[in-house]
A and B are shown apart, each in its own frame.
Chain A
Amino acid sequence: MNVLRAALLASAAVTLAASSAALAQDSYVSDSGTLTPGAAETVYPSKPPYSPYADRNFPTFPLFGDTHLHTSFSMDAGAFGARLSPRDAYVFAKGNQVTSSTGQPVKLSRPLDFLVVADHSDNMGFFPDLLAGKPEIMADPQGRKWHDMVVGGDGATAALQIISAFSQNTFPPALLYTPDSSAYRSAWAETIKAAEEANDPGRFTAFIGYEWTSNTGGNNLHRNVIFRDGGDKASQVVPYTVYAPGSDDPRDLWKWMAAYEEKTGGQVLAIAHNGNLSNGRMFPILDPGTDAPMDREYAATRAHWERLYEATQTKGDGETHPFLSPNDEFADFERWDVGNLDLSVKKTPEMLEHEYARSALKNGLKLEANLGVNPYKFGMVGSTDAHTGLVAIEEDNFFGKTVPQEPNPERTQEAFVRNDNGVVFDWQVSGSGYAVVWARENTRESIFDAMQRRETYATTGTRMIVRFFGGFDFAPADATSRNPAIIGYTRGVPMGGDIGPAPEGKVPTFLVAALRDPIGANLDRYQIVKGWLDADGNVHEQVYDVAWSGDRTPGADGKVPAVGDTVDVADATWTNTIGAPELIAVWSDPDFDPTQRAFYYGRVLEIPTPRWPAYDAKRFGITLEEEVTTKLQERAYTSPIWYTPAS
């Protein structure tokens, strides 16, 4: 009996301590998700909206989604009170109204096109799975009795008897946990099941995924792992954890990814986020751990597995920092630079270079020149990292990063984290962002492949449509064409692609276009951010204004003046009397040197709009503190196009 008790306690201990997930079971309760028919009918045009005589083997509409959502399955979300499961998360993402963990009704303005529920792999754990009908249960008389009660409609009584038996140590030994038994089912199996049920090819894509949460010393090195595959492959493995047999080193995660692909023939990718909370560890130039020069293998492996970076989310924006980009008047945006994730260590200026996307893209050019491969050749996405089960980050529909941040009058006053090293307030949490993918169709395979080729962009929470093409043959007349996308794909490459070396006498030209969010704000300007490596091995950056609304002209400093501001903070409104609904232009690099490696990416800014605390102030009738930011210019960051000179 003592052995039995010990075994029971041991298994409970394993569960409670949130050890890594165990076996997937091959048969389990078939709970299912919901799909209301309003969302089920085909809602996006099946015909591409371009001229019928055009070839249509390129993407014609962008898909909006989130690559990073947590539900009650994540221990920290559950600890904060999250009650929504992956199934609920998909129901919400598809545009249905749900009740939030704090009991409030909530609905998206428009459905999303795809979602990755990425709960922390360390918390997957077990839950008792009573009566999955396995043979050993039926063989045991008590087990059979319970099973028959369930089938006969008296499952409740059976469940309660089972619980009692467990607690009084009278649970039949034959039904106890063993690796092959069905006594436990894992949260990983549940995650897969929810994704499989919610996945609706052509209409909504539910990816299987998880977050690997390396956080040693409070320094954020988290990655989200996304599967191209379905449950048949994903259930053959368990997610990589930080607890044993896992580790906190990204190189081990990459080994796990390779082992998965080798075993199953499937495909996975990893997306890192929150370099701003890594205290200088996200984008190293030296080999992490030894501080020797980075070796080619690290660079090649990283480049292989991490083709995207999550550049904006609720824990601050990661594009660039005013210290790194002092000449960029838009660089100070949703800035979180006090310290690492738990504020156990303060930020110092030397760390910043290794934390932000633009700087990493630049250093990637430098490393490529030395090593022959660029470890930081990544495209951009946004996502939420919400821990509420809700992808609800629109400024006027913001349900917070954690459940205590769901709408309430106090949420603009609390601290997110505070200690002797500093403070980050809840009002600093961003209403951000979305991952937007130019995929040919709304399926796992198509979206995943688009992510692999980096044909993606990030937005900070609105649904701008952004095109970015690069090549050597775009002409100004292309900006007035009726079919810019056709021109873009046939005479250049889309965002995420490569160009070069430049033909004799030619410079890189870019065909850029942006369309505002139909229920959002007008656009201010379309910029191109260029980074390059000079002959001395130094990196540089420059931001160019390429297209803008109205008849503004660049000032003496070469910059286009601010677009203006129609925000009424007290009323939490703005008007689209400034800005433009659509911007399109062709731009050629005026400072091009064909011998220098470079990258170019698009950044599109909207006119100023109210930030979520302004909506809180209005709706709850509260007064905000002076320092609370109440407006912002939402933006999009495209994946870069890289220029490589002749060798």
Chain B
Amino acid sequence: MASWFRRLVAEPLVQFLVIGVLLFAGYELLRGRELAEDAPETIVVSEGRLAQIAEIFTRTWQRPPTAEELRGMVDTFVREEIYYREGRKLGLDEDDTVLRRRIQQKMEFVLEPSSEELTPPDGALEAYLADNRESFRLPARVAFTQIYFDPDRTDAETAAEAALAALGGDQPPSSDALGDPTMLPAVMPLTSSERIAATIGPEFAAAIEAAPVGEWTGPVRSAFGWHLVHVDEREPARDPPLEDISDIVRRDWEQQRRREIADARFAELRRRYTVVVAPLPDQQAAAAPAELATE
């Protein structure tokens, strides 16, 4: 070692200086640690956050917040943030069903496919339609006129039969003049059996399914009484071509694709986990916990 250095180190002033520095440094360190323990955590309300808060206000009230209003909202936000942080430190976010379900919901949102992934490749819609013809089939439809006979006013079935005979006679009366008033529709345009059932009832809808076109038939029973029915037109069930229903087919296809993608993504997540389930109550105690095979 250089002799000048040895002389330096031996010099008491230097030793005192070094001890002093060490003392100060040590003190700073300790004090720093204390400060760190008492030092407040920082909550930063960034420009982006301020802008967001102001934007929410503006979109609620259709005007920007005043300085005081903004300060108030910032205070609310900070209060919420503090409770949130402290709550997390206490573990309040654990084992909370509401939070867990909310997070599951957010994850499902996150994993939802984007519009690009939901664009059907060429031919996909045609194939989907071909595979699902029944869902897109337009049901048979019937257009008809009906005359109602009210069982409360008369022997409705007999009256209906008499009216039918009159309609088939030489000088048939106008159908408007026959039967009893009702709020039921006198005329329905081409309508599916399901919808006729929803309006006049299932027995009526079933009864006219086989009625011939262009003549009066009956009496037909319904929940309301008796009817004569004149089927004006029938349209058989048909499978519409893709160009007529492309929007609907596309939505259905997207729905299925979305489900497939969501299931596939969950399966990928699932692969990262090994699940161990304790024996279910109805299993014998002898069995060790089973390791579930990953799907």
Contacts and interface: CB of A to CB of B under 8 A. Distances in A.
Interface of A: 2-3, 6-7, 9-11, 13-17, 19-23, 29-38, 40-41, 43-47, 49-51, 61, 72, 75, 78-79, 81, 109-110, 127-128, 130-133, 150-151, 153, 155-156, 159-160, 162-163, 176-179, 197, 236-238, 240-241, 243-246, 256, 259-260, 262-263, 465, 467, 480-484, 513, 515-516, 518-519, 576, 580-582, 584
A14 B74 CA distance: 12
Contacts of A7: 44, 46, 48-49
B261 interface: yes
Contact of B60 (A11, A49, A245): A245
B248 interface: yes
B113 A128 contact: no
A262 B62 contact: yes
Interface stretch (B7-15, B16-24, B78-86, B159-167): B78-86
B189 to A, nearest CB: 5
Contacts of B42: 2, 6
B251 A34 contact: yes
B187 A37 contact: no
B135 interface: yes
Given A41-B138, A46-B189, A159-B265, 18 more contacts: A9-B81, A10-B44, A10-B49, A17-B84, A22-B55, A31-B258, A34-B251, A35-B248, A45-B191, A51-B186, A75-B102, A127-B106, A131-B114, A160-B265, A176-B48, A244-B72, A263-B62, A518-B223
B61 A256 contact: yes
Given A6-B43, A245-B73, A259-B62, A179 B52 contact: yes
Nearest to B77: A14
Interface string B42-65: 111110110110011101111101
8 tightest A-B CB contacts, nearest first? A49-B185, A127-B109, A13-B84, A43-B195, A518-B201, A79-B98, A110-B198, A178-B48
Contact of B110 (A19, A81, A109, A130): A130
B268 interface: yes
Interface residues of B, number: 93
A222 to B, nearest CB: 18
18 contacts: A14-B77, A22-B52, A29-B115, A37-B136, A37-B137, A38-B138, A44-B191, A78-B101, A81-B101, A155-B114, A156-B265, A160-B268, A197-B251, A244-B76, A263-B62, A482-B176, A518-B223, A582-B150
**What is the interface of chain A mostly: helix, strand, loop, or mixed?**
loop
Interface string B168-190: 00000000100001111111110
B115 A179 contact: no
B138 A49 contact: no
A29 B182 contact: no
A244 B77 CA distance: 9
B118 interface: yes
A128 B198 contact: no
Interface in B67-122: 69, 72-73, 76-77, 80-81, 84-85, 93, 97-99, 101-102, 105-107, 109-118
Contact of B135 (A11, A37, A150): A37
A589 B191 CA distance: 41
Contacts of B197: 518-519
A241 B56 CA distance: 11
B56 A20 contact: yes
B226 to A, nearest CB: 12
A131 B117 CA distance: 12
A513 B183 contact: yes
Contacts of B61: 245, 256, 259
Contacts, number: 244
A20 B185 CA distance: 48
Nearest to A28: B115
A176 B47 CA distance: 13
Interface in B130-160: 135-139, 141, 150, 152
A513 B181 CA distance: 11
Interface in B229-271: 240, 245, 247-248, 250-252, 254-255, 258, 261, 264-265, 268-269
Given A16-B102, A51-B176, A72-B105, A36 B187 contact: no
A245 B69 contact: yes
A230 B268 CA distance: 38
Interface of B: 42-46, 48-49, 51-52, 55-57, 59-63, 65, 69, 72-73, 76-77, 80-81, 84-85, 93, 97-99, 101-102, 105-107, 109-118, 135-139, 141, 150, 152, 176, 181-189, 191-192, 194-195, 197-202, 222-225, 240, 245, 247-248, 250-252, 254-255, 258, 261, 264-265, 268-269
B72 A79 contact: no
B107 to A, nearest CB: 8
Nearest to B55: A179
A49 B184 contact: yes
Contacts of B254: 31-32
A36 B139 CA distance: 12
A542 B45 CA distance: 62
Interface centre among A130, A256, A518 (most CB of B within 10 A): A518
Nearest to B48: A178
A156 to B, nearest CB: 5
Contact of A45 (B93, B188, B258, B264): B188
B138 A37 contact: yes
Contacts of B187: 45, 47, 49
A467 B183 contact: yes
Interface centre among A75, A262, A482 (most CB of B within 10 A): A482
A380 to B, nearest CB: 20
B161 to A, nearest CB: 20
B224 to A, nearest CB: 4
B222 to A, nearest CB: 8
B99 A160 contact: no
Nearest to A187: B109
Nearest to B267: A156
A518 B204 CA distance: 10
A37 B284 CA distance: 52
A50 B55 contact: no
Interface centre among A45, A110, A515 (most CB of B within 10 A): A45
B267 to A, nearest CB: 9
B56 A22 contact: yes
A457 to B, nearest CB: 14
Contact of A256 (B60, B109, B185, B186): B60
Contacts of B63: 259
A155 B176 contact: no
